Amino acid sequence: MRALLVQAAPTPGDLSANAARAAEIVRSAPDADLVLLPELYLGGYDLEAARRHAVAVDDPVLEPLRAAAEQAGTAVLIGMAERLPDGAAANSLLAIDERGRTAAIYRKTHLFGGEPGVFEPGDELVVVPLAGRRLGLLICFDIEFPEPARALAHAGADVLVAAVANMDPYERDHELASRARALDNRLPLLYANRVGQESGLTFVGRTRAVSPDGEVVAQAGRDGEELLTVDVPPMAVGDELVDYLAQVRDDLPVSVKSAGGEI
């Protein structure tokens, strides 16, 4: 699978312009099997305006992107504020297949900072067959917890994919977390972050691809916009001695001792 990881700054609040630019990027890379865009790319990371910018997954504003996906034969993942049927909003990752159809929608399960006051948390994780692989979908803060990635791996994901909007001072957190989640599960991880400034936040780029042994095999810079093309290898037989998924034990009780208690 060839993936194009997009490190870019959206135009805050201009959904049409951002969708059009995403469509242009997809059309410019017909050899890519998958294009990954950052968290909340469609409308920008402005929590005060996020509900106003929320749209349903079938909103016409996304039609240019769907058409580009079909034209190029390329699957697309784009972060967006999703308008839910009850009028609430979710921080979502929309998966569009190579025919321009909705393949899946993942709603961020681990909300960060002020996000719980704006978005409804998702109540399930998602593995979607796309671009010839089984993608486990994650959004930003999700990758800082081992459990979501591990659950996706157990459910059959063979690539972990993270759309993020990571900002100062958390660059080092994600550098470590992205490598750890790949190593934890012996899976490749694709990570697309944005750059620029919005709502008083400075976003720190470093879009990257991580191999199943936790090595960063390709990485963009911190500040500028970049398109990072990576070839994600097919699943290979790993070292059985460190096949963590096969060896992890989930049958161990925890014994909590009281202070000063006898052993």
- Of the candidates 82, 98, 108, 144, the residue annotated as catalytic is 108
- Of the candidates 82, 98, 115, 140, the residue annotated as catalytic is 140
- The whole-angstrom separation of Cα 221 and Cα 195 is 10
- The whole-angstrom separation of Cα 144 and Cα 173 is 8
- The whole-angstrom separation of Cα 263 and Cα 194 is 53
Place of tokens 């006051």: 117
The b-or-e profile of 232-258 (16+ CB within 10 A means b, else e) is beeeeeeeeeeeeeeeeeeeeeeeeee
| SS3 state of residue 197 | strand
Identify whether 39 is a catalytic site residue. yes
SS (H, E, C) 116-173: HHCCCCCCCCCEEEECCEEEEEEEHHHHHCHHHHHHHHHCCCCEEEEECCCECCCHHH
- The whole-angstrom separation of Cα 208 and Cα 217 is 8
DSSP state for residue 55 in the 8-state scheme: B
Token reading at 138:
């994650």
List the strands of the sheet with 226-231, edge to edge: 102-107, 89-96, 75-83, 34-36, 2-7, 226-231
List the strands of the sheet with 216-219, edge to edge: 127-130, 133-139, 159-163, 189-192, 208-210, 216-219
Identify whether 257 is a catalytic site residue. no
The residues carrying an active-site annotation are 39, 108, 140
